[in-house]
């Protein structure tokens, strides 16, 4: 049997300070007026008992609302340490209760995972209590200490013998701090039930002595979060099988552990349309989601699409299943246990630990794939519901597109391949021009539907370079070669589709920027040589009059998708191009100072380093899953856009465009030949 770590005074690490808690209680405990902060006091004490349970020492927790407005929480854990703390010269119990950042949660030998940390703790409860009594059963003795407004009345003392172990805390919230100290029993019951679900086998009892009909409520769920999902679905219409019986005999349950992160997930679909997803880290609910939710959603979407494609369920309808389709009627509880979680704020509403996403995605993907393969009859009915949701979404989208912004589209209507955004004005909206349906599918799923639209173009568009106005006199007849070139331009379906999507008139010799439907036009092509060619062709189109007005007024941008992905442990690093990859290798390697860039030895060194790294080269945007595309290229918070601008020397710009895109082949050949010597890492 593995020897359990000692939980003594030496386990308690101290980070000082308590005064600030009483001065700014809302910063630590939440709102002191609406009841959230008041109830959080109870949760902090219960969380300590739950942490004891997670460490394997506590099986029973009792919560009692007393008739004198106090609250008592008792557990049968090890009991708070009572020996003298060497650094503080007082008992460990008093240190824990009076120092803001003191406790065994900083010591991974005492607690592997913990919910009751991160800026709050039992010392905060003590600081915000008019009085608090602490009773400890440990080492065959019963100990006692009392606090007034966070300060000990006297040192910890022994008051008797005891055969039990555990901690009992009774506190009276301060009337100076809280507008009301009246607790809501139902609010507490909801949290207690939640904790019992999340920690299978733990027994939590609740008594409200203020209630005339005193009744003890007991919460214990050996099925854990699987029972939680069943509880969430109790009053919802069940999804039926072909025989009219409930499709799920019990909810799906998967679990796994990777790199010290424990993952539990239970889910099932009902016949409704509302999603119930509850995500937890160390028993704390993240109402704003976070990296664990992103990993779960990505894995679920991937598994569903993979299963649908393998069984040819999408070909008939020509649909792409999105996360929104999968959400309809989904009830899910996702719970992870992790040492040292990182949250976006003191209230822990969003998990931001970056390594969690990949790990959750990997585990969920593996386990759910097995479940779907082992339950084909159930899986098909689930897929039928999801495909129906996708069909309904597609019909609704088309209906919206037919109505939205009609004024700008009276000429030819919305192009069918355009996935429009929901906002109906130019300001704040973006149009991503992408190459091909594959990249378009990823972009449509990864985008923010509210303000980001996607237009996939098929193949390389026509070279639309138009020579400067060249009028030749032939008798009394004028021949305008520019007009002929423009006529050829608007004969291209892809070009007309693009112009229509922008809300402009293909036949107009002048454009009104007020007609433009988007605030940003973003060219998003693959990071390879083909993508560069398509990007050049699109820029050539925008360089022509009257569309060059869009460049002049700063509407045209270039996206910067990565060409490489480097897997380094549980982290993914995205690299823009060959040059950045080379720089990354140099920055992460030793003994490179003696190597001369461009030399054979230097290139051999780079090639050798590449072979030792886990490098994925994206052949196209379609290879990136929607979340990757969002995080690297679409998200305004993380992306790197380049704005297309003319330089101060406009004639030089036009001369270069004429050389590269014009009809003079000899001129272009001379340019390529004279500049070839400057090319490095040619991507062919």
With H, G, I as helix, E, B as strand and everything else as coil, classify residue 486: helix
- Distance CA(23)–CA(20), nearest Å, equals 5
Q: Which residues are catalytic?
A: 435, 526, 528, 530
CA angle 385–320–498, rounded 5-degree value: 145
Rg (CA), the chain: 32
- Distance CA(659)–CA(408), nearest Å, equals 36
Q: Give the H/E segment covering residue 282.
A: none
- Distance CA(363)–CA(357), nearest Å, equals 10
- Distance CA(99)–CA(12), nearest Å, equals 11
With H, G, I as helix, E, B as strand and everything else as coil, classify residue 484: helix
Ordered DSSP codes for 179-200 = S-----HHHHHHHHHHHHHHST
Residue 579 burial class via C-beta count within 10 angstroms: exposed 0-12, middle 13-18, buried 19 and up: exposed
The CA–CA distances, whole Å, from 321 to 242, 309, 602 equal 23, 10, 47
- Distance CA(198)–CA(193), nearest Å, equals 9
- Distance CA(362)–CA(359), nearest Å, equals 5
With H, G, I as helix, E, B as strand and everything else as coil, classify residue 362: helix
Both structure tokens of 509: 């010799």
* CB neighbour burial string for 286-298, b if at least 16 within 10 angstroms, e if fewer: beebbbbbbbbbb
Q: How many CB atoms lie within 10 A of CB 56?
A: 11
Torsion of CA 634, 638, 643, 648, to 10 degrees: -170
Q: E-assigned strands of 497-539?
A: 520-524
Q: How many CB atoms lie within 10 A of CB 63?
A: 24
CB-based contact 173:189 (threshold 8 Å) = no
Both structure tokens of 396: 């609704």
Longest dimension (CA), the chain: 121
Both structure tokens of 491: 């004969």
CA 360 to centroid of chain Cα atoms:
12
Q: How many CB atoms lie within 10 A of CB 529?
A: 11
Residue with structure tokens 């301060």? 174
Residue 71, φ and ψ in degrees, nearest 5: -130, 140
CA 499 to centroid of chain Cα atoms:
35
* CB neighbour burial string for 35-52, b if at least 16 within 10 angstroms, e if fewer: bebbbbbbbbbbbbbbbb
With H, G, I as helix, E, B as strand and everything else as coil, classify residue 441: helix
Overall residue count recorded for the chain in this entry: 684
Residue with structure tokens 């929901």? 422
**Angle, helix 665-675 to helix 650-661, in steps of 10 degrees:** 100
């Amino acid at each position: 049997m593995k020897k359990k770590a000692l939980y003594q005074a030496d386990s308690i690490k101290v980070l000082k300070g308590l005064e600030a808690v009483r001065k700014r209680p809302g910063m630590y405990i939440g709102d002191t007026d609406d009841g959230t902060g008041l109830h959080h006091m109870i949760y902090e004490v219960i969380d300590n008992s739950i942490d004891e349970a997670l460490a394997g020492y506590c099986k029973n927790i009792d919560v009692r609302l007393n008739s004198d407005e106090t609250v008592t929480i008792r557990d049968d854990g090890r009991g708070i340490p009572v020996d003298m703390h060497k650094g503080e010269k007082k008992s460990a119990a008093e240190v824990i209760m009076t120092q803001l950042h003191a406790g065994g949660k900083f010591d991974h030998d005492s607690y592997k995972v913990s919910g009751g940390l991160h800026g709050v703790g039992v010392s905060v409860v003590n600081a915000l209590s008019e009085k608090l009594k602490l009773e400890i059963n440990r080492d065959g003795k019963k100990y006692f200490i009392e606090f007034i407004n966070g300060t000990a009345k006297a040192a910890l003392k022994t008051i008797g013998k005891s055969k039990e172990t555990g901690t009992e805390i009774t506190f009276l919230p301060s009337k100076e701090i809280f507008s009301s100290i009246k607790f809501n029993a139902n609010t507490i019951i909801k949290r207690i039930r939640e904790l019992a679900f999340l920690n299978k086998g733990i027994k939590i009892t609740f008594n409200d002595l203020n209630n005339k009909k005193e009744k003890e409520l007991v919460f214990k769920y050996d099925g854990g979060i699987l029972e939680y999902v069943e509880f969430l679905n109790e009053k919802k219409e069940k999804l039926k099988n072909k025989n009219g019986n409930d499709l799920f005999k019990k909810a799906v349950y998967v679990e796994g552990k990777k790199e010290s992160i424990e993952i539990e997930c239970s889910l099932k679909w009902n016949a409704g349309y509302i999603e119930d997803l509850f995500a937890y880290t160390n028993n704390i609910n993240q109402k704003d989601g976070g990296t664990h939710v992103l990993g779960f959603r990505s894995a679920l979407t991937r598994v569903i699409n993979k299963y649908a494609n393998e069984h040819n369920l999408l070909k008939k309808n020509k649909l792409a299943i999105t996360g929104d389709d999968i959400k309809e009627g989904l009830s899910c509880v996702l719970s992870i246990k992790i040492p040292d979680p990182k949250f976006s704020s003191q209230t822990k509403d969003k998990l931001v630990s970056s390594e969690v996403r990949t790990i959750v995605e990997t585990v969920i993907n593996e386990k759910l794939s097995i479940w779907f393969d082992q339950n084909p009859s159930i899986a098909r009915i689930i897929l039928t519901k999801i495909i129906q949701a996708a069909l309904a979404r597609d019909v609704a989208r088309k209906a919206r597109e037919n109505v939205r912004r009609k004024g700008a589209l009276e000429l030819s209507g919305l192009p069918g391949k355009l996935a429009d955004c929901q906002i109906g004005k130019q300001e704040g909206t973006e149009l991503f021009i992408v190459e091909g349906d594959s990249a378009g599918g990823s972009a449509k799923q990864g985008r923010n539907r509210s303000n980001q639209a996607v237009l996939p173009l098929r193949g390389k568009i026509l070279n639309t370079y138009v020579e400067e106005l060249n009028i030749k006199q032939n008798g009394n007849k004028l021949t305008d070669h520019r007009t002929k070139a423009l006529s050829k331009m608007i004969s291209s379906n892809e070009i007309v589709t693009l112009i229509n999507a922008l809300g402009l008139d293909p036949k107009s010799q002048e454009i009104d920027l007020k007609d433009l439907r988007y605030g940003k036009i973003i060219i998003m092509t693959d990071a390879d040589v083909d993508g560069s060619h398509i990007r050049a062709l699109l820029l050539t189109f925008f360089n022509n009059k009257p569309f060059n007005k869009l460049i002049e007024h700063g509407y045209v941008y270039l996206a910067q998708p990565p060409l490489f992905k480097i897997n380094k442990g549980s982290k993914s690093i995205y690299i823009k191009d060959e040059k950045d990859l080379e720089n990354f290798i140099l920055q992460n390697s030793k003994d490179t100072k003696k190597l001369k860039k461009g030399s054979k030895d230097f290139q051999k060194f780079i090639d050798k380093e590449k072979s030792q790294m886990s490098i994925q080269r994206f052949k196209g945007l379609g290879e990136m899953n929607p979340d990757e595309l969002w995080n690297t290229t679409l998200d305004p918070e993380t992306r790197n856009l380049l704005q297309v601008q003319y330089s101060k020397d406009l004639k030089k710009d036009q001369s270069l465009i004429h050389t590269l895109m014009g009809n003079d082949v000899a001129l272009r050949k001379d340019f390529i030949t004279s500049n070839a010597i400057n090319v490095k890492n040619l991507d062919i």
